[in-house]
C-alpha cells in the first residue's frame, strides 16, 4: 500500500514538473505573486518580532523590572468631576522612611533631579547647558540599569558625608576629555561646585530625545546641600530581587506609602506608582495595529495570487484536454486526474511560499538591523506561511482539478 502511494506521488511530481517547465513564464509569474504576498506577511511580522525583542532587551537594561513612586502628575478635569487630591511632593523624610521600612525582598533607591540645564566644565572645555544632574544614593546605578565603565560607584560614607565626587555619563567623557586622558580623579565643575570624578558610566543611548549619557550623578546629601529648592521632590525606585514578584512588590509599596502619607481608606493616593514596563507595553499595543495591517496586506496579496493560480490551472485544463482524454481512454480514473492537477497547484503554491518565506526573513531582519535588533527566525510565521500557502493552493486548484476529472474522454479526444 505504501509502495503504491509513493509511486503515485512520484508520478504526480513528474507530471507536475513537466507541466511547469512547459509553461515556465506563466508559472514563474504566479510563483512570484505568491512569494510577494508571503514576503509582505513574513517580512513585516519578522521585523516587528525583532523590534519587540530589541525593545524588551533595551528596557530590561534600563531596569524594566522596577517601579517608581513619584508625586502625582498634573491632570486636567473638566466640569464637576471629582478632582484628585492636591499635588504633594515626596519629601526626603518620606523617601528615607520608606527605604527604611520597606521589608520586601527588593533593592530600593532614592534620587532627585537637581538640574536639567547644568553646565559641566573641565579646564578650558565646557558643555552646553543641557546636562542633567541627579542626586542619588549608592543603589541608583543598579536599580536604573547602569553599569560602571571605569572607576567605581559611590560608597555609603560618601553619600552621608556630602562628598564632592561625581559619576559622569559616557558622552560627557567624550566631550570633556578629548585627549583620551583618564577622567578618574580629575576635577570638573558642575554648576558652581567642583567635583572629583570617581567613575564613568557605560553608554546607554537616547530615549525619546533624552540621553542617559549626558548625566552627572552626585551624592544625595551633596545635592540637598548645594542644589536645594523648596519644591524639590524625590523619586523612589524599587527593583524586586525576583522579577515575578513585581506586582506583589507594587501592592506592598503602595500600602506602606499610604501609611507614610497618613491616608485613610477613603482617600485617593496622592502619589503615583509607575512600572517601567508601562511604556514598552504601550508601544507593543500600538505595534499590534501594524501587525494587523501587515496581515491584511499579505492576505489581500495572497488572494490575488490565488486568483492567478486558479486562472493558470484552468488554462492548463484547456490546453491539456486531449492529454486528459488520452489518459482516461487508457484507464485513468477521474480521481487520479483530479489528484494530478491538485498536486500541481500545491507544488506551485509551496514553491512560491518557500521563496516568500526566505525573502521575508531576509527583508524583516534587514529592517530590524536599523534598530540593532537581533537576527531571528520566526518559526511561527514560517509554519503559518507554509500552511497558508497550502490552503491557498488547494482552494485555487480544486475547481480546475474537478473540471479536469469530469471531462468526457471521447469529447476530450476530439478536442482541438
Same domain, 232 and 344: no
The pLDDT, as a whole number, for residue 78 is 41
The pLDDT, as a whole number, for residue 291 is 74
How far apart are the C-alpha atoms of 381 and 170, rounded to whole Å? 40
CB 108 within 8 A of CB 98: yes
Same domain, 225 and 365: no
Same domain, 113 and 154: yes
Same domain, 259 and 287: no
The pLDDT, as a whole number, for residue 76 is 41
**What residue has cell string 508625586?**
71
**Mean pLDDT for each consecutive 10-residue tract of the chain (416 residues)?**
65 74 79 82 78 65 73 51 61 92 92 90 88 92 86 91 91 87 91 91 63 84 88 90 85 92 86 73 69 75 76 74 72 76 83 87 78 72 80 80 73 56
Q: Name the domain count of the chain.
A: 2
User: Taking the model in full, what pTM does it have?
Assistant: 0.57
Q: Which of 6, 10, 9, 11 is nearest to 327 (CA)?
A: 11
How far apart are the C-alpha atoms of 376 and 207, rounded to whole Å? 24
Length of the chain measured in residues: 416
Element containing residue 68 per DSSP (H, E): strand 67-71
CB 272 within 8 A of CB 72: yes
Phi, psi for 109 (deg, rounded to 5): -130, 140
**What residue has cell string 480514473?**
333
Same domain, 29 and 165: no
Strands (E), 191-245: 193-201, 206-207, 210-211, 215-219, 235-240
Same domain, 267 and 357: no
The pLDDT, as a whole number, for residue 4 is 64
Q: Which of 275, 293, 323 is the last residue of a domain?
A: 275
Where in the sequence is the domain holding 233, given as residue range(s)?
67-275
In 10 A of CB 31, how many CB atoms?
24
Same domain, 261 and 331: no
How far apart are the C-alpha atoms of 321 and 328, rounded to whole Å? 11
Q: Which of 220, 252, 275 is the last residue of a domain?
A: 275
Same domain, 243 and 346: no
The pLDDT, as a whole number, for residue 94 is 92
How far apart are the C-alpha atoms of 91 and 232, rounded to whole Å? 8
Same domain, 222 and 160: yes
Same domain, 270 and 189: yes
Same domain, 71 and 217: yes
Same domain, 82 and 187: yes
How far apart are the C-alpha atoms of 204 and 170, rounded to whole Å? 8
Q: Which of 275, 296, 315 is the last residue of a domain?
A: 275
Ordered DSSP codes for 95-136: HHHHHHH--SSEEEEEEEEEEEEE-EEETTEE--S-EEEEEE
Considering only CA atoms, give the Rg of the chain: 34
Query: CA torsion sign, 316 to 322 to 325 to 329?
Result: negative
The pLDDT, as a whole number, for residue 416 is 52
Assign 3-class secondary structure to 333-379.
Answer: CHHHHHHHHHHHHHHHHHHHHHHHHHHHHHHHHHHHHHHCCCCCCCH
Amino acid at each position: 500500500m505504501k509502495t503504491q502511494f509513493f509511486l503515485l506521488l512520484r508520478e504526480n511530481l513528474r507530471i507536475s514538473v513537466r507541466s511547469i517547465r512547459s509553461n515556465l513564464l506563466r508559472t514563474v509569474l504566479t510563483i512570484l505573486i505568491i512569494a510577494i504576498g508571503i514576503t509582505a506577511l513574513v517580512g513585516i511580522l519578522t521585523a516587528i518580532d525583532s523590534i519587540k525583542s530589541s525593545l524588551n532587551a533595551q528596557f530590561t537594561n534600563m531596569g524594566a523590572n522596577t517601579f517608581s513612586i513619584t508625586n502625582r502628575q498634573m491632570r486636567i478635569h473638566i466640569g464637576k468631576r471629582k478632582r484628585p487630591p492636591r499635588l504633594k511632593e515626596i519629601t526626603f523624610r518620606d523617601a528615607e522612611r520608606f527605604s527604611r521600612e520597606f521589608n520586601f525582598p527588593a533593592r530600593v533607591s532614592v534620587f532627585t533631579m537637581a538640574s536639567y540645564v547644568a553646565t559641566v566644565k573641565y579646564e578650558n572645555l565646557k558643555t552646553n547647558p543641557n546636562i542633567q544632574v541627579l542626586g542619588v544614593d549608592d543603589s541608583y546605578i543598579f536599580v536604573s540599569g547602569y553599569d560602571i565603565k571605569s572607576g567605581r560607584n559611590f560608597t555609603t560614607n560618601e553619600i552621608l558625608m556630602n562628598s564632592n565626587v561625581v559619576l559622569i555619563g559616557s558622552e560627557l567623557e567624550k566631550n570633556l576629555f578629548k585627549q583620551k586622558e583618564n577622567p578618574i580623579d580629575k576635577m570638573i565643575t558642575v554648576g558652581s561646585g567642583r567635583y572629583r570624578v570617581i567613575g564613568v558610566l557605560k553608554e546607554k543611548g537616547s530615549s525619546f530625545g533624552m540621553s542617559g549619557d549626558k548625566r552627572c550623578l552626585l551624592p544625595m546629601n551633596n545635592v540637598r546641600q548645594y542644589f536645594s529648592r523648596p519644591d524639590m521632590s524625590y523619586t523612589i525606585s524599587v527593583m524586586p530581587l525576583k522579577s515575578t514578584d513585581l506586582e506583589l512588590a507594587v501592592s506592598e509599596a503602595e500600602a506602606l506609602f499610604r501609611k507614610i502619607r497618613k491616608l485613610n481608606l477613603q482617600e485617593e493616593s496622592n502619589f503615583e506608582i509607575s512600572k517601567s514596563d508601562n511604556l514598552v507595553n504601550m508601544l507593543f499595543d500600538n505595534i499590534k495595529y501594524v501587525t494587523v495591517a501587515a496581515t491584511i496586506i499579505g492576505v489581500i496579496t495572497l488572494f490575488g495570487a490565488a486568483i492567478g493560480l486558479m486562472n493558470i490551472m484552468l488554462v492548463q485544463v484547456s490546453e491539456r484536454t486531449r492529454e486528459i482524454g488520452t489518459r482516461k481512454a487508457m484507464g485513468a480514473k477521474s480521481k487520479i486526474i483530479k489528484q494530478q492537477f491538485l498536486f500541481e497547484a500545491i507544488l506551485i503554491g509551496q514553491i512560491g511560499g518557500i521563496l516568500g518565506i526566505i525573502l521575508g526573513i531576509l527583508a524583516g531582519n534587514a529592517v530590524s538591523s536599523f534598530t540593532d535588533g537581533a537576527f531571528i527566525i520566526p518559526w511561527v510565521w514560517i509554519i503559518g506561511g507554509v500552511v497558508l500557502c497550502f490552503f491557498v493552493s488547494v482552494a485555487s486548484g480544486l475547481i480546475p482539478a474537478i473540471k479536469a476529472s469530469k471531462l468526457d474522454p471521447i469529447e476530450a479526444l476530439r478536442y482541438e
